[in-house]
Amino acid sequence: MNHALTFSRRALFAAIAAGFALAALPARAQETPVKFQLDWRFEGPAALFLVPVAKGYFKNEKLNVTVDAGNGSGGAVTRVASGSYDMGFADLAALMEFHANNPAAANKPVAVMMVYNNTPAAVLALKKSGIKTPADLNGKKLGAPVVDAGRKAWPIFAKANNITNVAWTAMDPPLRETMLVRGDVDAITGFSFTSLLNIEARGVKAEDVVVLPYPSFGVKLYGNAIITSEDFLKKNPEAVKAFLRAFTKGMSDVIKDPKGSIATVKARDGIIDVALEERRLKLALDATVLTPDARAEGFGEVLAPRLSLMASQVSDAFATKERVKPEAVWNGSFLPSAAERNIFAAVKK
């Protein structure tokens, strides 16, 4: 009898414990997993996504976000398209190219928030080359990896600045700045905040480098945007809205404290140079986020005429199979309110 009583008590306690476990399940189930693909390695700009992770902003929105390093915008677009990642960070031109070259793809990604309002693409040269303006590039030898955003958009830059005669040399990304410093090429294209620091790392002083940013010379291309797959967007619209809210909150924190933000990058990649990556982050913010265009349009937004012009320019410059449809690559209906997106209030006066 005692044994039966003991057994029944055990059964009762087990049932109660199981009930508690089941009660806890819905809370966990409400947390949506989000696999996020960066465009590049864990460098300064990665803080834009690592800060909201570290500060729990995604968790507060019931999202379980994992952020992985990337190897270029093209890779980020294809991985989101394949479904191996739910969301990512990629150059809008790369997204446009994918759409126009893969019209039958079942899960084409779409941009839902503009982060780099201005493309970071630039031409860089050494002052001793005599290159001071775009016109000086006529007849010169330029170098860049074939997948570089600046090289792919070169026809747009060349047309805007009447440059008709350049010779291109292709190389792997790690050799780009080395070949410039060695004199193998006269100029390179690259992201300004990446190539400038890479040139300095090879022994050249910043004041001995000429930087010709595309946006300063008639090329008003948008840069990197947050993208998500069609499938994820349809199944998890509230999660996408929540992601953008948490990201925007983190963005304000990064602008307020770039130095502190780099700690989140250091936590992911312990070998980074903290001072160098802080500088890279500040250069990236100044060149692409805290710009007059971004202030005028509103952080996260795009202007329809500018987007249409870019779609036309990319169609021509990239020689895509079909013309880029601007309405197919952009969906701004998931953005936080304009007041929530006022990151410029975080800029120190």
Domain borders along the chain are: 31-118+222-346, 121-217
Cβ contacts of 284 within 8 Å, gap of 6 or more: 44, 45, 116, 120, 193
CATH fold label, 31-118+222-346: D-Maltodextrin-Binding Protein; domain 2 (3.40.190)
Question: 328, 235 in Cβ contact below 8 A?
Answer: no
Sheet with 87-91, edge to edge strand ranges: 63-68, 32-37, 87-91, 224-228, 110-114
Q: How far is Cα 48 from Cα 252, in angstroms, rounded to an integer?
A: 9
**pLDDT for 86 beyond 90:** yes
- 235-276 confidence digits (pLDDT tens): 999 999 999 999 999 999 999 999 999 999 999 999 999 999
pLDDT grade for 5, boundaries at 50, 70 and 90: very low
**pLDDT for 19 beyond 90:** no
Q: For residues 326-347, give the mean pLDDT.
A: 94
- 319's enclosing H/E stretch is none
Domain made up of 121-217: CATH architecture: 3-Layer(aba) Sandwich (3.40)
| Short-list 62, 190, 210, 237, CA closest to 132 | 210
How high is the pLDDT of residue 36? 98
Question: 167, 185 in Cβ contact below 8 A?
Answer: no
Q: For residues 84-88, give the mean pLDDT.
A: 98
Question: 283, 193 in Cβ contact below 8 A?
Answer: yes
Alpha helices in the chain (DSSP H): 2-29, 47-54, 57-60, 73-82, 92-101, 149-152, 154-160, 176-182, 192-201, 230-235, 237-256, 258-268, 274-284, 292-297, 304-317, 326-329
More confident residue, 18 or 197: 197
How high is the pLDDT of residue 6? 52
Hey, what are 95's tokens?
């997204």
Sheet with 187-191, edge to edge strand ranges: 167-169, 141-143, 187-191, 121-126, 209-213
Beta bridge partners of 330: 111
How many CA atoms within 13 Å lie on the side-chain side of 170? 5
- 114-141 confidence digits (pLDDT tens): 999 999 999 999 999 999 999 999 999 9
Backbone angles phi, psi at 278, to 5 degrees: -65, -40
Alpha helices in 124-236 (DSSP H): 149-152, 154-160, 176-182, 192-201, 230-235
Burial track 23-33 (b if 16+ CB lie within 10 A, e otherwise): eeeeeeeeebe
| Short-list 289, 295, 119, 120, CA closest to 196 | 120
pLDDT grade for 70, boundaries at 50, 70 and 90: very high
SS3 261: helix
**pLDDT for 48 beyond 90:** yes
Q: How far is Cα 222 from Cα 92, in angstroms, rounded to an integer?
A: 7
pLDDT grade for 345, boundaries at 50, 70 and 90: confident
How many CA atoms within 13 Å lie on the side-chain side of 75? 13
Q: For residues 50-75, give the mean pLDDT.
A: 97
Pairing relationship of beta strands 121-126 and 187-191 according to DSSP bridges: antiparallel
Q: How far is Cα 326 from Cα 328, in angstroms, rounded to an integer?
A: 5
**pLDDT for 20 beyond 70:** no
pLDDT grade for 81, boundaries at 50, 70 and 90: very high
Q: pTM for this structure?
A: 0.90
- Please tell me if the domain spanning 31-118+222-346 has the same topology as the one spanning 121-217: yes
Question: 78, 98 in Cβ contact below 8 A?
Answer: yes
Residues in the chain, overall count: 349
What whole-number percentage of the chain has pLDDT above 90? Answer: 89
Question: 224, 91 in Cβ contact below 8 A?
Answer: yes
- 130-179 confidence digits (pLDDT tens): 999 999 999 999 999 998 999 999 999 999 999 999 999 999 999 999 99
The rounded Cα 98 to chain-centroid distance in angstroms is 16
Cβ contacts of 302 within 8 Å, gap of 6 or more: 114, 222, 330, 332
**pLDDT for 55 beyond 70:** yes
